[in-house]
Amino acid sequence: MLAAKNNVTTMRLNVLTKVVESFLNGFKDIDKLPETLSPDEIKPVRGSKEKDRQVLKEQIVSMLGFTPEKEDFSHPLSFFAAEALKRTQAPLATISVLPSACAACMKTRFTVTEMCRGCVARPCEVNCPKKTITVEDKAFIHQENCIKCGMCANVCPYGAINKAPVPCEDACPTGAISKDENGFEHIDYNKCVSCGKCLVSCPFGAIVYNSQIIDVLNMVKNSAKPVVAMLAPAVIGQFGNDVGKVITAFKQLGFSEVVEVAEGADVTTRNEAAEFVERMQEGKSFMTTSCCSAWFKAAEVIVPEVAPYVSSTKTPMYYIAEIVKKRNPECLTVFVGPCLAKRIEAEKNPNVDYVLVFEEMQAILAGSGINVAACESAKFEHTASAQGRLYPVTGGVAGAVAHLVGDDNLCRKETIDGLNKDAFRKLKMYAAKNSAGNFNLVEVMCCEGGCVGGPGCMVGAKKSAALVDVYVKQSPDIKTLQD
């Protein structure tokens, strides 16, 4: 996937911020936004000003909450803005490809570079399973027979064979995105688990999600009901290192309360630990965790043979939303986190009204002129445990469950750090053998590094994980909270 810091993410955040500013200005300037964002004096990035502005219009429509592939772009942006303000429920979540922005990349292929020496060993030729490589002065790959296995690149002593992938297809763990008859990418929603890996991998910014940002802004500004922000534990480092300042900033935006989803994670830990012990006592061979929404859907549609082994315990978002609604049944809830797949989960949960990712919240803060660093530090009214706050880092969920189980002989944990084809093969093997080898608690995270590597994050997973670890060390043990 692309590095977290790149022009596409910078441009997307800038467009989101301008949409927020336009909302706060009554959408008076919404029709001019493409020209504002791509003025005449700036060199076009897509070949022409007309194309730049058309792509910007389609991106803005998605940020207003619409699915671009279903819309008539002869309408002005003011039309879409007016329609967005009429909504009283969150739009159904989709991830879409903008044909106007898609570069119709060349199909994945392996090519021999000038670094090839035509060596005597010829491991590329010898190890090619389809015998599709010949060597004269240098190696040559006959593309019509190549199966893209990559063996030649793996064995070349000079690193002379290069893989040129289709970035979005290469990143998708489920094979949900592929080319149509015209060479443009198309998403198969029967396979898509809304992980967002295609979104953060496309170098052309051609993949978008339909945002709920206007819906949330409209509710915060105009609803008579209190609006509660439910803040995922991966927030540490996304808006600065002091989560207390984030609480204050959110309240300045108009949220009546800010709660931490880690409080719900503590409920997940207790329930999942109890379920794990029960399953082991019943003689089950292994159990996988269930708090990753993308994994949960993948277990249903991609590897259904593994579904019986997935924990039935609900996610931290489920439990915190239940807690919040019990405290105030009239409130509206907004989950704020790193994950696009949470939007799919929220559609099945009446306690979760809206879902925003950190990127969208950064746009709201910037568009509203709120500097988080200048805010006073506040505290959550209810404290979560160290184990719940470690959920967003790979190993955190299984570690929390194992900590409560308290028996290393009973609970032997393994982590699958990121869903990909190899991970699915491993999980299928576990199901076929009715065994995960030496392990019986398998944590599955769709994103590498855990939730801190989610598509809605603005900080790299390693840096974020280090900051989470510092925060966790300042937090109480879940066993203490139970007492």
CB 320 within 8 A of CB 425: no
**What SS3 class is residue 120?**
coil
Query: CA 422, CA 228: separation in Å to the nearest integer?
Result: 39
CB 233 within 8 A of CB 262: yes
Percent of the chain with pLDDT over 70: 100
Cα three-residue angle 117-119-123, rounded to 5 degrees: 115
Residue 482 pLDDT class (50, 70, 90 cuts): low
Query: CA 140, CA 201: separation in Å to the nearest integer?
Result: 29
Mean pLDDT calculated for residue range 258-276: 97
CA 308 to chain CA mean position, Å = 25
Residues contacting 189, CB < 8 A, separation 6+ = 94, 176
Structure letter (DSSP) for residue 174: S
* Adjacent-strand bridge partners of 357: 337
The tens digit of pLDDT for each residue in 434-477 reads 999 999 999 999 999 999 999 999 999 999 999 999 999 999 99
In the predicted structure, residue 162 carries a pLDDT above the cut 60: yes
Query: CA 330, CA 324: separation in Å to the nearest integer?
Result: 10
pLDDT of residue 388: 97
Query: CA 390, CA 285: separation in Å to the nearest integer?
Result: 26
Closest by alpha carbon to 338, among 190, 454, 186, 206? Answer: 454
The tokens describing 240, both together, are 């600065």
pLDDT of residue 241: 87
Domains 7-104+169-211 and 216-482 equal at CATH topology level: no
In a 10 Å sphere around its CB, with 0-12 CB exposed, 13-18 middle and 19+ buried, how is residue 335 labelled? buried
Mean pLDDT of the residues in the chain: 95
3-state SS, one letter per residue, for 79-101? HHHHHHHHCCCCCCCCEEECCCC
CATH of region 7-104+169-211: 3.30.70.20
Mean pLDDT calculated for residue range 362-382: 97
One-letter amino acid of 68: P
The tens digit of pLDDT for each residue in 138-156 reads 999 999 999 999 999 999 9
Structure letter (DSSP) for residue 71: S
**What SS3 class is residue 203?**
coil
Pairing outcome for strands 161-164 and 139-141:
unpaired
Give alpha helix (H) positions in 133-261. Answer: 151-155, 167-171, 213-222, 243-253
End-to-end C-alpha distance for the chain, whole angstroms:
44
In the predicted structure, residue 483 carries a pLDDT above the cut 70: no
Closest by alpha carbon to 330, among 255, 256, 251, 225? Answer: 225
pLDDT of residue 155: 97
* Span 216-482 CATH architecture: 3-Layer(aba) Sandwich (3.40)
Closest by alpha carbon to 77, among 120, 34, 48? Answer: 34
The tokens describing 308, both together, are 């019986």
Which of 40-49, 142-151, 358-367 has the highest average model confidence (pLDDT)? 358-367
Beta-strand (E) ranges in 276-408? 287-288, 332-337, 354-357
Query: CA 288, CA 312: separation in Å to the nearest integer?
Result: 10
CB 355 within 8 A of CB 335: yes
**Element spanning 9, H or E:** helix 7-24
CB 453 within 8 A of CB 441: no
CB 455 within 8 A of CB 357: yes
pLDDT of residue 407: 85
CA 150 to chain CA mean position, Å = 27
Token pair 């030729």 is found at 125
In the predicted structure, residue 1 carries a pLDDT above the cut 90: no
The tens digit of pLDDT for each residue in 399-448 reads 999 999 998 889 999 999 999 999 999 999 999 999 999 999 999 999 99
* Radius of gyration in angstroms for the set of CA atoms belonging to the chain, rounded to a whole number: 24
**Element spanning 186, H or E:** strand 185-187
**What's the topology of domain 109-164?**
Alpha-Beta Plaits (3.30.70)
Mean pLDDT calculated for residue range 346-371: 97
Cα three-residue angle 471-476-482, rounded to 5 degrees: 145
CB 464 within 8 A of CB 454: no
Residue 82 pLDDT class (50, 70, 90 cuts): very high
Token pair 């709920």 is found at 212
Closest by alpha carbon to 381, among 209, 257, 256, 199? Answer: 257
The tens digit of pLDDT for each residue in 294-313 reads 999 999 999 999 999 999 99
Query: CA 144, CA 407: separation in Å to the nearest integer?
Result: 55
The tens digit of pLDDT for each residue in 312-325 reads 999 999 999 999 99
Query: CA 268, CA 264: separation in Å to the nearest integer?
Result: 6
CA quadruple 221, 223, 225, 231: dihedral sign: negative
In the predicted structure, residue 201 carries a pLDDT above the cut 90: yes
Task: Tell me the domain boundaries of the chain.
Answer: 7-104+169-211, 109-164, 216-482
pLDDT of residue 4: 74
For residue 406, the tally of other CB atoms under 10 A from its CB is 10
The tens digit of pLDDT for each residue in 98-135 reads 989 999 998 899 999 999 999 999 999 999 999 999 99
Closest by alpha carbon to 283, among 399, 126, 464, 440? Answer: 440
pLDDT of residue 115: 95
